[in-house]
Structure 1
Amino acid sequence: FSALDGKTQSCVVENLLGFTGYFKKAGTTVLLVTHSTAHLKFADKLIILGGGALAYQGTWDGLKQHPKYSSLEIDIEGSKSDTVVEQPQVNKTVQSQNLKMAEAVSDLSRATGDISLYGYYFRAVGFQHILLLLACTSTYSFFVTFPQYWLQKWTEAPVSQTTFYICGYLISSLLAWIATSGTMWSTQILIAPSSGIELHRRLLSTIIGAPLSYFSNTDTGVTLNRFSQDIQLVDKQLPPAIMSISNQVFKLLVQVVLLFSAQKLLALSLPLCAAVVYLVQRVYLRTSRQLRLLDLESQSAVYSSFLESVEGVTTIRAFGWEKQAEHANVVCLDKSQKPAYILLCLQQWLGIVLDLMVAAIATSLITLAVFVRGTTTAGQIGMALNIVLAANATLLSLVTSWTNMEISLGAISRLKALEADTPKEDQPHEDFVPTEAWPSSGSVEFDKVTVSYNSDAVALRDITLEVSPGQQLIVCGRTGSGKSTMLLTLLRLLDTDAGSIKIDGVDLRLVPRSLIRQKCFITVSQDSFILGHASLRFNLDPSTSLPNEAIISALARVGLLSHFHLRDTPSEEETRNTLDSPLSSLPQMSTGQSQLFALARALVQLKSINQTSELSANGAEGRHIMPILLLDEATSSLDTETESAIRDIIHQEFTDKGHTVIAITHRLGGVTKGMRPGRDAVVLLSKGKIEKIGEAEDVLDSAALRE
């Protein structure tokens, strides 16, 4: 219950675990693991662990009478710690914040296709690579089909010219082999890597540069589908499809010319064949494009279902929901297979139609050869029959390849639409670069700031607030009151609808966001972000600009040296090996140690900022940058001892050195212990507005708070 504010937490615990709660009435056995002492009185039996051993076993009343309870590091009086509650409001309705999820995939000109997609893809590939592919495929198509005509001439030539025709046949085959090798090389070595790299770069740049609202309104499965399914189509299916289409088109042209040269009367069937092929491809391509896009889109539901099951596997197993979760995933999987099955049926229909058309052409050819004698030779009839059979396979391969290309272009259309429609976080007017020493004091000014996630969800309304340099400001309030939104707005992860925020007199709306996050703020969140595959050094110092001593000093300051098997004065080799080791290969950290690790990262970032300011100071005239420390529920899930250790480090390394500290919390009891009377302040938020502001005692004694 650590993520809940005091009133909500008390309501939930009392209704479920209280003396008249639901579980008590139902006779349900409850095992509660917690670091909080606020609700120990509801327990029938207490087990307190300390140092990996059993420290106490008994009841709540027995614990209060225990002569050594102070050594148990349990703050019994903390059960009455101050928690923020909301003043009762009469005749006010609670407005729900319903954020609409974006559609999984938008409608991207499915019925008719989009010609601009070809230009988008060819620009990513490079037109010189496309021209090389066309040259290779046209050469291959000619020399792989020309031997049919060469054989026909060979059958009519005298025996004395056999060697000449053998050499010509071998040369034609050799040139075809060289051309097909060039085709494969241009497709697999030039086109596929260049297009995949360029389109992946654009996609990654678009997603990374998207604002926070994009991730709030877009399903995770949709984004994952762009990087997995769509990029896979671009890498593996689209280049071979283009190569195959180019081959089949040129082969079909050569075959048609040879066929009509053998039997000129067959040219009369050309308009009819063209009309049939046009009608077939129009029906087939339009339908297959729809089915394939439905197939791709239905897989987003499969990805989302799988991701949700993985993320909630603990809850699923705890409540015995394995069969329900499996059934839900199977249902999504079954739905995703429906378009694939119908597409397979459509392909069989296409094969039958093309076979019937080629059979009609072959019948016409034999009929003409029988009834219109003297117009063709035996060699020409044989060549024409071979070409008719080959043309059937060529035509079928052409339509299939064209369909695969249209399917893959569906991925291109989604990538193109994502790049065009996704809003960019950075704006053109954000180009003001403050002085190198900014921020030099750390003052913060909110001037009538209003922030919303969308038009129906206003998170902050008309916030006016001033934070003095070096001041410690505690922002508290119930869940959903706008506390975290205030920090997101400071970090420019959310844009203001009205008003302005200034740091040392500089309006943040004019400064590049990357510069704000790099120099202006140091953030420690409730959930410390850790990359397991990355090294310990990278997790602490992503810029890799600090020496080993600075990183070791930060780990020692938070007490994590021993956890990573490092001594107080480790050798250079030991330090290098440990810092360069993947974090996943080192001992796993607990929740409290993860927060200490996040704090160590903040200390390393502070040293990095100070080092940068010293390098750019040009002597004694420069001033140290004074970044502002932002804490978002950084101690809400920690035990009393770890919380006290983190609070002491923050005071010594930041507050006592003049840094402004803005802390978000819904638990005031521990945070207010280190506040300085007459200087630090507490802000109470309620429904996105400032309810009260003042010193800790004044806010705690107000009617809006209770013990």
Structure 2
Amino acid sequence: MDYTKLKGDKFGLLKVLVRTLWVQLLLPIPPRAALIAFYSCQPLFIESLVTYLSHSDPDPNVGYGLIGAAIIIYSGIGISYALYWYCHHRLRTMVRSILVTETFKAATRVRLGAGILINFTATVIASMKWHKISGLAGPVAAIMIFAAVFAFMPQLISPPLTFAFAQNPLNASTMFSSLSFLTLLTQPLSQLFQSIPELVSGLACLGRIQAFLELEPRRDYRQPQVEAQSCGMEKSSKQLNLKSTDCIVIRDANFGWKADKFVLNNINTQIPAASLTMVIGPVSSGKSTFCKALLGEIPFSQGSFVMSTPPRHVGFCEQTAFLWNGTIRENIIGFTPFDRERYDQVIEATSLRFDLATLLQGDQTNIGSDGVALSGGQKQRLSLARALYLPSDFLIPDDVFSGLDADTEEQVFRQVFGPDGLLRRRGSTVVLCTHSVRHLPTADYIIALENGSIAEQGTFVHLSTRAGYVQRLEVGLKPEGEDTNADDEPGPCPKLFEGQTRTGKKLDPAITVNSTQSSTLNASAEAGARQVGDATVYKVYIKSMGWFVAACSLFFAALWGLFTNYPTIWLTYWSDATESIHPAHPNSYYAGIYALLQICAIIALLLLGITLFIVYVKKAGANLHQQALSTLICAPLSFFTNTDTGVVTNLFSQDLNLIDTELPEATLNTLFCIFQSIGQAAVMLTSSVYLAISYPILGGLLYFVQKYYLRTSRQLRLLNLEAKSPLYTHFLHTLKGIVTLRAFGFIPNDIHKNIRLVDSSQRAAYLLLMIQEWLNLVLNLVVMVIAAVLTTLAVRLHSNWAFAGASLYSLMTFGESLSGIVISYTRLETSIGAIARLKTFNEAVTPEDRDGPGEEDIVPDTNWPDRGLVKLCNVSARYISTTVSNTDSESDSNSVVHGAAKPPLALKNITLTIHPGEKVAICGRTGSGKSSFLALLLKLLDPLPSTSNNHNHEPPVLIDNIPLHRIHRATLRQRLIAVPQDPVFLPDGTSFRANLDPTNTATPEECQRVLEAVQLWGFIQEQAEGLHAPIRAGTLSAGQRQLFSLGRAMLRAIIRLRSTSSSYKEGSDSHDQGGILLLDEVSSSVDRETERVMQEIILAEFRHYTIIAVSHRLEMIVDFDRVVVMDRGEVVEVGNPAALKERAGSRFGQLVAAAAA
């Protein structure tokens, strides 16, 4: 689709679609013209039949001709109707394919910026749903109701007005032929009114899609050497110092995310080819921006950027690992062909073989959305393995060691970046941005950034001998050839082949994902989605809206059927009165009653719409959402580990959207069509009671048709919904990892994948449309048979001409009502399937809260925990819930329960006492159970039942002498202050203030104080709106996010002190209230200086607290009172850090030695 010529035109996209699909646009015209012609014959046919029946001695041949005319007219309507909608749906499918594909292509071309991609994402995805309205707020619901009412206004009001002011005498022939013509004229007008909201929504969607397509594409400012010389740049290659040994030369360059503000200024540097360049600097110095500048991703740039030869593929590792929801192998190879030898090389180099050996499915383990089943260090090593597997000699890893322990970090660095590492052997060019400055001696070239500019650059030997940033780091030169960790490498592990499974000791139970065992929720949800005929689901539906609301809906729908069909009978009485010599009432009487009946129909429709679109949505939507949200909040940690986030997202987006939008609409249409059809069938009986004989046959035929149709269409509708989900997920996934995909050169492959997903999603949608048109054709042919039978009975039995006219007039829309019943009921079943899935979700997810005797029955005082005493006695725990006996212990961690291998223990026989005010550090190898220890204290992980009955008869865990299992979970998590490794922020657009103080209980002065303490106040002041400025993706660097998270913890401590201490004075430090602070890798993404500042803040602000900190940064815990070393879920060493460091053979000493290497 060529869009460039009409770019900037308000209706440019619409014009391009017309020009591209002009043939498909013209194809529906012939069948539509035929359909209009056949529709126009209906009034003439009714007039002819009524006139024929009015004669006392009609010609039989004319009657036979009328029977033939009925067959031709109504069969022609059915065939032309089917052909028209067939062409229409083909056009609709093509338009959707084009728009989805073009939108995706545009998303891969759009430049990065301040939330450009993120801001458009939701809008664009919503635009794909052409016939949906997102969210039924009051005004939108009112618009839909009045649109429906006004759509029927012309059809209901025009007949009374026409007949009331008619100049000529009225008879049955005139009345029903006129009424037929009015119906033909007003039906398109009614459809126009009903289409106005959809038309406006469709044009708005096209406008938003067009705006997205018009976004400025990414401009690659990187120029190859030959191109730079041929373009006549101001500086020659000699002036740029582009030597044969240089891969990149940057001169006088500025890079930024906004046009008026550069992040990096006056950058002059070069990247040596086939070497290791390390980029270092404090938090927010511009390291990540420098990485993206090398990739050509910065939207605003100045200066020159010359490359010797731009690589087709760049092995880029983002600071936050970007992973697919797939297997480990799929994440490593990406779109690259599988090469066993290269694959084994990268697995070995990144030390993943030991981790794979612990997984039940090996490298076929599904890691879940964003790698939820992996630890932070495993995710980073998996991202690094993917970059190493890529056939590229240029790699840019960004802070890939932040989640690794010292031992694993040293091992991975040596095997990948070291003198004999994989990249050295390949002769690759590497630019490594990192806070792990202990590896600087290995670098060939160092670039130190500070405050957005290069503070110094050169070799380590050169920089370490001159006063500057590198010298201040006090990093010693590693003796040449020293191999500090050769003996610590894990033993050899057999190669993992496809489909091979492993068992063994586990590094961290959170990484276990059994891909062969389907999630209970997925299976239950799928079963619930298809069990839409379950009466209990309808009971839940009715109960959610209330029995009174349900009864009112049925009553108003019955009134609608009565008041829309009885006026047709009333016309027969009116026509009889006009033929009478002495009528009982004047025409005004009949006209007034006729108008009153039509007005009552409008009122009934209005009341039905208000009941379903306003009363129902407010009541049922809120109830169902609250139930699902409560279930999700109370779900245990194992639920989030084993359940793909897409399943939960669908529940709270697609299913709740169906309940709020399609379900009331489907209910309205179903009730509307049912009572409309009943009324029309009753009117047709007035012509001849013998027609009733055909009704059972008609009912049986419709039963088998709907049974076949519903069984097929229900599955197609569900397949349609399921096929769209991967398409939307893939779109969001591409936006999230667009930088990585561009760097890897995967965009063409990703576009082809999107096209395949579009094709897949279109199959079910197109087949569903075709089966609907098959139904319409069948029902229209049934109407043709009814018309032929009705005409035959009227001709042969010489029926009452007025009632015959009324019957034929009702027959005009009877076919639409019949097909409407089946189609609307199918939509109702599909929509109510959303309630079935929510019902299954609420029943299948076992809440983590325990309501048994002696379980979670204590809500401590507001000042608890005021001491901070923590005692653990012989505690063992595992993540994934299984049926275990009370005798479970670590000895049976590999046994079998109900035929399935039990997951290994996360914690094994932990016995530990942490005294009030003590500062305790938890350290150990990646996956050793450190985070599980914190999860236990927060009741995210429950002890095994066997540990509740230890030999001392003590509770397994005590906090300030209160058994942990008796403390209410929500209260516990409010009272303990925890800082997670991955900082949590509210959705994009929320303010700094809302993210810092979600409860809005702190004063502005308190907010400023904590932000000043974590050195972020200056950054906040630079924002136009200060604390009320919105936070968007990329606003804060990874280090700043961790500082902000620490500031939030400080603010919680201040608020807690203020609310529990009567002697508290703002800004005062004279208090001694204790508490518990849990820290999980809070300094993993910051430099040494910032880490030192964070340590000072923690020790000063929380000096009276008991602090339990998980950290790989051993420099941060040297001032702690004790250190607990863990390995494979067990406590292997406890003691003072200084004493353990000096003890021979100490595990902690080995970790310190590895970190200092």
Shift of 1:666: 2.0
Indicate if the aligned counterparts of 2:1042 and 2:1085 stay in contact, CA closer than 8 A.
no
Q: 1:135 aligns with which of 555, 564, 567?
A: 555
1:124-151 superposed Cα distances (whole Å, 9 cap, x missing partner): 2222222222222211211111121112
Shift of 1:584: 4.9
| Matches for 1:63-74 after TM superposition, within 5 Å | 63-64=463-464, 66-68=465-467, 72-74=471-473
Match of 1:445 in 2: 871
Shift of 1:537: 2.6
Shift of 1:344: 1.1
Q: Which moved more, 1:230-239 or 1:637-646?
A: 230-239
Give the Cα–Cα distance (whole angstroms) in 2 for the partners of residues 420 and 83 of structure 1.
52
Shift of 1:31: 0.9
Query: Are positions 1:329 and 2:754 aligned together?
Result: yes
User: In structure 2, do the counterparts of structure 1 residues 212 and 134 end up closer, same or farther at CA, with 3 Å as the change threshold?
Assistant: same
AA in 2 matched with 1:32: L
Shift of 1:355: 1.5
Query: Are positions 1:199 and 2:624 aligned together?
Result: yes
Give the Cα–Cα distance (whole angstroms) in 2 for the partners of residues 624 and 441 of structure 1.
10
Match of 2:766 in 1: 341
Match of 2:636 in 1: 211
Q: 1:514 aligns with which of 963, 970, 983?
A: 970
User: In structure 2, do the counterparts of structure 1 residues 298 and 243 end up closer, same or farther at CA, with 3 Å as the change threshold?
Assistant: same
Match of 2:194 in 1: none
Match of 1:3 in 2: 403
SS of the residue corresponding to residue 427 of structure 1 reads coil
AA in 1 matched with 2:840: A
Give the Cα–Cα distance (whole angstroms) in 2 for the partners of residues 186 and 112 of structure 1.
23
Match of 1:654 in 2: 1102
SS of the residue corresponding to residue 38 of structure 1 reads helix
Shift of 1:480: 1.0
Q: Which moved more, 1:218-227 or 1:693-702?
A: 693-702
AA in 1 matched with 2:594: Y
Give the Cα–Cα distance (whole angstroms) in 2 for the partners of residues 178 and 332 of structure 1.
46
Indicate if the aligned counterparts of 1:221 and 1:301 stay in contact, CA closer than 8 A.
no
AA in 2 matched with 1:582: P
Match of 1:571 in 2: none
Shift of 1:72: 4.5
Give the Cα–Cα distance (whole angstroms) in 1 for the partners of residues 1015 and 485 of structure 2.
30
Query: Are positions 1:320 and 2:320 aligned together?
Result: no
Match of 2:474 in 1: 75
User: In structure 2, do the counterparts of structure 1 residues 208 and 79 end up closer, same or farther at CA, with 3 Å as the change threshold?
Assistant: farther
Q: Which moved more, 1:166-175 or 1:477-486?
A: 166-175
Q: 1:118 aligns with which of 517, 528, 538?
A: 538
Give the Cα–Cα distance (whole angstroms) in 2 for the partners of residues 372 and 192 of structure 1.
52
Give the Cα–Cα distance (whole angstroms) in 2 for the partners of residues 636 and 419 of structure 1.
38
Match of 1:620 in 2: none
Indicate if the aligned counterparts of 1:83 and 1:666 stay in contact, CA closer than 8 A.
no
1:397-447 superposed Cα distances (whole Å, 9 cap, x missing partner): 111111110110111111111122122132223121223432121111112
Query: Are positions 1:166 and 2:586 aligned together?
Result: no
User: In structure 2, do the counterparts of structure 1 residues 28 and 608 end up closer, same or farther at CA, with 3 Å as the change threshold?
Assistant: same
Match of 1:686 in 2: 1127
Match of 1:38 in 2: 438
SS of the residue corresponding to residue 282 of structure 1 reads helix
Give the Cα–Cα distance (whole angstroms) in 2 for the partners of residues 649 and 372 of structure 1.
100
Query: Are positions 1:597 and 2:1044 aligned together?
Result: yes
Indicate if the aligned counterparts of 1:354 and 1:396 stay in contact, CA closer than 8 A.
yes
User: In structure 2, do the counterparts of structure 1 residues 641 and 3 end up closer, same or farther at CA, with 3 Å as the change threshold?
Assistant: same
Match of 2:144 in 1: none
Match of 1:644 in 2: 1092
Match of 1:541 in 2: 997
Give the Cα–Cα distance (whole angstroms) in 2 for the partners of residues 302 and 417 of structure 1.
25
SS of the residue corresponding to residue 446 of structure 1 reads strand
Give the Cα–Cα distance (whole angstroms) in 2 for the partners of residues 458 and 301 of structure 1.
34
Match of 2:96 in 1: none
SS of the residue corresponding to residue 403 of structure 2 reads coil
Q: Which moved more, 1:263-272 or 1:324-333?
A: 324-333
Shift of 1:615: 5.3
AA in 2 matched with 1:98: V
Shift of 1:583: 4.0
Indicate if the aligned counterparts of 2:868 and 2:959 stay in contact, CA closer than 8 A.
yes
Q: Which moved more, 1:195-204 or 1:133-142?
A: 195-204
1:514-545 superposed Cα distances (whole Å, 9 cap, x missing partner): 111111x2112222223342333322222222
Give the Cα–Cα distance (whole angstroms) in 2 for the partners of residues 589 and 293 of structure 1.
41
Match of 2:132 in 1: none
SS of the residue corresponding to residue 609 of structure 2 reads helix
Match of 1:417 in 2: 840
User: In structure 2, do the counterparts of structure 1 residues 173 and 613 end up closer, same or farther at CA, with 3 Å as the change threshold?
Assistant: same
Match of 2:650 in 1: 225
AA in 2 matched with 1:548: P
Query: Are positions 1:671 and 2:1116 aligned together?
Result: yes
Give the Cα–Cα distance (whole angstroms) in 2 for the partners of residues 425 and 16 of structure 1.
43
Match of 1:407 in 2: 830
Shift of 1:590: 3.2
User: In structure 2, do the counterparts of structure 1 residues 456 and 84 end up closer, same or farther at CA, with 3 Å as the change threshold?
Assistant: farther
SS of the residue corresponding to residue 453 of structure 1 reads coil
1:135-176 superposed Cα distances (whole Å, 9 cap, x missing partner): 222112111111211122222223554333222211211211
Shift of 1:99: 4.2
1:94-140 superposed Cα distances (whole Å, 9 cap, x missing partner): 45723446337421262661111111112222222222222222112
Indicate if the aligned counterparts of 1:202 and 1:419 stay in contact, CA closer than 8 A.
yes
Match of 1:380 in 2: 803
Match of 1:433 in 2: 859
| Matches for 1:238-637 after TM superposition, within 5 Å | 238-373=663-798, 376-428=799-851, 429-454=855-880, 455-498=902-945, 499=947, 500-519=956-975, 521-531=976-986, 532-565=988-1021, 578-584=1026-1032, 588-614=1035-1061, 625-637=1073-1085
| Matches for 1:77-96 after TM superposition, within 5 Å | 77=476, 93-95=504-506
Give the Cα–Cα distance (whole angstroms) in 1 for the partners of residues 1058 and 834 of structure 2.
46
TM-score (norm 2): 0.56
AA in 2 matched with 1:418: F
Give the Cα–Cα distance (whole angstroms) in 1 for the partners of residues 488 and 811 of structure 2.
83
Give the Cα–Cα distance (whole angstroms) in 1 for the partners of residues 757 and 628 of structure 2.
26
Give the Cα–Cα distance (whole angstroms) in 1 for the partners of residues 827 and 960 of structure 2.
58
1:367-409 superposed Cα distances (whole Å, 9 cap, x missing partner): 2223334xx2111222222222322111111111111101101
Give the Cα–Cα distance (whole angstroms) in 2 for the partners of residues 444 and 329 of structure 1.
53
Match of 2:512 in 1: 97
Shift of 1:79: 7.9
- The alignment's C-alpha RMSD in Å is 2.9
Indicate if the aligned counterparts of 1:203 and 1:415 stay in contact, CA closer than 8 A.
yes
The runs of 5 or more residues in structure 1 that have no matched partner are 568-573, 618-622
SS of the residue corresponding to residue 2 of structure 1 reads coil
User: In structure 2, do the counterparts of structure 1 residues 295 and 254 end up closer, same or farther at CA, with 3 Å as the change threshold?
Assistant: same
Shift of 1:331: 2.5
User: In structure 2, do the counterparts of structure 1 residues 275 and 336 end up closer, same or farther at CA, with 3 Å as the change threshold?
Assistant: same
Indicate if the aligned counterparts of 1:38 and 1:79 stay in contact, CA closer than 8 A.
no
User: In structure 2, do the counterparts of structure 1 residues 78 and 649 end up closer, same or farther at CA, with 3 Å as the change threshold?
Assistant: farther
Give the Cα–Cα distance (whole angstroms) in 2 for the partners of residues 635 and 441 of structure 1.
26
SS of the residue corresponding to residue 582 of structure 1 reads coil
Shift of 1:648: 0.9
Identity %: 35
AA in 2 matched with 1:299: K
- Structure scoring higher RCO (CA < 8 A, sep ≥ 6) equals 1
Give the Cα–Cα distance (whole angstroms) in 1 for the partners of residues 450 and 592 of structure 2.
91
User: In structure 2, do the counterparts of structure 1 residues 311 and 493 end up closer, same or farther at CA, with 3 Å as the change threshold?
Assistant: farther
Shift of 1:84: 14
User: In structure 2, do the counterparts of structure 1 residues 267 and 53 end up closer, same or farther at CA, with 3 Å as the change threshold?
Assistant: closer
User: In structure 2, do the counterparts of structure 1 residues 144 and 306 end up closer, same or farther at CA, with 3 Å as the change threshold?
Assistant: same
Give the Cα–Cα distance (whole angstroms) in 1 for the partners of residues 702 and 779 of structure 2.
8
SS of the residue corresponding to residue 276 of structure 1 reads helix
Match of 1:149 in 2: 569
Give the Cα–Cα distance (whole angstroms) in 2 for the partners of residues 270 and 631 of structure 1.
75
1:152-211 superposed Cα distances (whole Å, 9 cap, x missing partner): 222222355433322221121121122222222222222233322222222222222222
Give the Cα–Cα distance (whole angstroms) in 1 for the partners of residues 979 and 789 of structure 2.
80
1:199-229 superposed Cα distances (whole Å, 9 cap, x missing partner): 2222222222222222221112222212221
